Amino acid sequence: MAAGDLVGLVVALLVLGYLLYALFLGERL
């Protein structure tokens, strides 16, 4: 099982989502 890879993938997705969300808010502000 590559549990570490799964965790890394989830963290990467969360970070990318957070960055996109921050950019979206930045554009609206």
1-29 confidence digits (pLDDT tens): 588 899 999 999 999 999 999 999 987 76
Element (H, E) at 23: helix 3-28
What total of structural domains would you count in the chain? 1
Q: What is the pLDDT of residue 1?
A: 59
Q: What does the alpha-carbon distance between residue 12 and residue 8 come to, in Å, rounded to a whole number?
A: 6
For the chain, how long is the longest CA-to-CA vector?
44
Q: What is the pLDDT of residue 23?
A: 94
Q: What is the pLDDT of residue 26?
A: 85
Q: What is the pLDDT of residue 29?
A: 63
Domain residue limits at 6: 1-29
